Each structure stands twice: as C-alpha cells, then as structure tokens.
Amino acid sequence: MMSQDQFEKRLAEISDRIVSCTLCPRLVKYRQEVARHPPKRYSAETYWAKPLPGFGDPKASILVIGLAPAAHGGNRTGRMFTGDSAGNTLIKALYANGLANIPYSISLNDGLRLTGCFLTAALRCVPPGNTPLKEELENCYRYLREEFDALEGVRVIVALGSLAFSTSVRLLRDKGFTPDSGRPVFKHGQAYRFTQRQGGRVIWLLATYHPSRRNTQTRLLTQRMINNVFRRAARLVGGPDSAI
C-alpha cells in the first residue's frame, strides 16, 4: 500500500500531464477564446484556460465524475466544479454528507478541502456548446483511467449525468469489473454493484442528474435529490458492500 506522499506524488504527475495537454486543437482554441472575451463580471480576472486535473482526497473512497469544466467556472478558476452554480450545488451535497469542509466552491483560495472524495470529469477542457466530440472524449479518457488507477481506495463512483455515467461504465468494464445483475442504464438515483473478475473488488456506481443550472432551475434536480445520492454513497463506503 502506498503512503499518503506516494499517492499525492502519483496524482501530481498525472495532473502535470493533463495541464500541459494540447491533443484537441478545437478545445485549445475555444478555452483560450473564452478567456480573451469574458463577460463583464469577470473582465478583471485572469482565466486559467488550461485543461483541468482532478481535485480532492488522494485516498478517496468516492470518485465523482462529471462532464467537463464550465466556460466561466473551472475554465476561469482552475479547479473542478469551482466558480459556478453547478459547483456550488455539488459542494453543498458533499458538505451535507461530511465530504467537504465548507458548503461552497468559489476559487482556489476559498479553503475548500475534500475528505474521502475526489472530483474529476470525462473531459478536461470546456467544449463549445457544452458538446464534446467523440475524439475529444477519447483523448481525455486516458487521464481518467490514470486517475482511477492512482485512487486505489475507490469503492463508489458517482456519475453526474448520462455521459459521465456511460464513461464510468466503460471505465469499470475496461478495468475488469462486471455488473452483478442487469445492464446498467442511466436513471437518477439508480445504483449498480460491479465486481472485479480477478480479486473480487466491489465498486458501486451511482447515477444522478448533472447539477447544471438548467437542471436545478427546472427542478429536474433539487438540492435534496443530490444530497440523498451522496448520503447513499457515504453509507456504502461506511458499511458492508451490500448495504444500500
């Protein structure tokens, strides 16, 4: 078993590769264009405008997978789920379940710390229209695999939205996990138990609607709904593998 320092060093090496990535010319151009033409409320700020690595506890038991950074959220602040409404909805849910020390995510200097939880995404750069191309997702998939390999204590994956869910299913299958029953289908609040063929490691996959402003404003997703998903995730890592 690696030490805390070894976990952190391994994740730092992955982060360095992510931040320097230029595999997708369309995304490189767009993230820089967004930074050059910010809305008035952010006109005095210097944007991060680079790919985003994951963020959180190197010894996390809960891995949260989203879609991509927001144009004026993570692409501006330089941290996953930071500086926009989706990030605040997510962090409130983590805080309510003892996974974050504060109930908001504003900037790199806000003092946010995660315990037992790690945040990442299927895509590391903001895509035009929030719509990534297949080849862009493929380019980023390597980084998700590397982060998953480094996070040896993961027992639950929470997928934010259908694309993150399908990416999570692919990741688990590629790592030798199979669902215990049925074909995994995205549905808010649904949970699937996966078991690794060699070694018998168990990981639960939980699905939730993405905490986007559109979903929360239309109340497709409420704060209580996403809080309950993370309550379930925390319960799964705190008790027997079969507990729901």
pLDDT of residue 243: 45
> How many CB atoms neighbour CB 234 within 10 A?
20
**CATH code for the part of the protein at 4-238:** 3.40.470.10
DSSP H/E element including 10: helix 4-19
Alpha-carbon distance of 6 to 216, in angstroms, equals 39
pTM for this predicted structure? 0.95
pLDDT value of residue 118: 98
> What one-letter code names the amino acid at 185?
V
Q: Per-residue pLDDT for the chain (244 aa), expressed as one digit of tens each? A: 566 677 788 999 999 999 999 999 999 999 999 999 999 999 999 999 999 999 999 999 999 999 999 999 999 999 999 999 999 999 999 999 999 999 999 999 999 999 999 999 999 999 999 999 999 999 999 999 999 999 999 999 999 999 999 999 999 999 999 999 889 999 999 999 999 999 899 999 999 999 999 999 999 999 999 999 999 999 999 844 444 4
The token pair that represents 221 in the structure block: 């997703």
Structure tokens at 236: 């799964």
Confidence at residue 46, expressed as pLDDT on a 0 to 100 scale: 97
In 3D space, the residue among 238, 203, 240, 242 whose CA is nearest the CA of residue 115 turns out to be: 238
